[in-house]
Amino acid sequence: MGGDPRRRDGDERGWLRGAPPPRWVRVLPPVLLVVVCATELASRRPVDIGFLLGVVPSLAVLSYGPLVTAVYGGIVVVLLVVPAFQLNHPGNTDLLTIVFIAALSVVLALVRSRRDADLVTVRTVAEAAQLAVLPPLPESVGPVRCVGLYRAAQRETLVGGDFFDVRDGPYGVRAVMGDVQGHGLQAVGTVASLLGAFRESVLDQRDLTSAAGRLDRRLIIDSAQTEHPELFATALLLEFSATADTVRLTSCGHPHPYLLRGGEAVELSVAPGAPLGLGFFKVSPPQVRTVLLEPGDRLFLGSDGVTESRDATGAFYPLAERLALFAQESPSELTTRLWDDLLQFCGAVRDDVTMLVLTPRTEHVTG
């Protein structure tokens, strides 16, 4: 399955970071009202816990809008002045304090509801823009099945400095994985530009070297129009034959891919060219390597967020060892297990993490 490469396992924000509050937070105000009133009515002697009702409007702010918060505030005031409930018999000063807290809670609820509405609008627009830049991978492109996973280093963003894509064209199925200088939303514009150049090269560039040259030229032109012209990117390009029994690959400073075959992970090294955008493409063009594929082979592409992650002792993540350990898993399970294992190894990942598993269906084509 292709799926969304940016999928998240649940809402990682948490309710303290802007996610909707959990159910137990929403039921706190009514539960507190019922518990206090029931305790006072059931007790033969005054328990004097009516002061707890003063926090009900404040708790309502966390989950409800201004109207419901005002209702809770009104209920609290009524309960405090009804003699039958024996809720502390508040004096005028205490009652005015409760009224002030209730009114202030209504104002805060109004401000919070408007802010939440603005945040929802902004996040919806941002997600739409980011999905337009990096749409979900299809389950298969031609004879190649695709599974991707993307985790941006900057929290609450779907796209960072990494990018990948798989496209079919007149010269075969091509895939790209790259890493743009920088992280977060400031890198989205460069990512969009490079992806556009790659998609054009799939249609009109006959070989991988020319395709990589198209990306290099695009980045140089974009850099000339920016305030900081030192912009650069790394990239790895692959091209599958029509029968998916061979793959050609070239690297512009990007980590090498791995071939998963028979429970083993073999690094497919290739002499890398200079990173894109530095002006050295013609001086040091990338080399192209051709690899024969067998039925059942899979290719794993990872960003430096995977290969250069370290634990507390400074040791690098043993990618080849872990790939061999999870090699028998399905592609989607492989990326998920590898991501969980990477988090456990490093504790916290500080760079964009991108994984792409490509499975050529050689047995389907030749059959």
* pLDDT at residue 246 in the model: 95
Give the pair of three-digit tokens for residue 53: 């009702």
360 touches 295 (CB < 8 A): no
Cα 170 → chain centroid: 32
* pLDDT at residue 302 in the model: 93
- Using DSSP's 3-state secondary structure scheme, residue 235 falls into strand
* pLDDT at residue 71 in the model: 92
* pLDDT at residue 188 in the model: 78
State the pTM of this model.
0.72
Select, from the ranges 34-48, 79-93, 152-166, 189-203, the one with the highest average predicted confidence (pLDDT): 189-203
Give CA separation, 247 vs 237, 243, 319, in Å.
Answer: 10, 10, 22
β-pair type (258-261, 298-302): antiparallel
Separation of alpha carbons 240 and 360, rounded Å:
8
Q: What percent of the chain has pLDDT over 70?
A: 83
Give the pair of three-digit tokens for residue 227: 């305030």
Nearest to 242 by CA among 186, 165, 170: 170
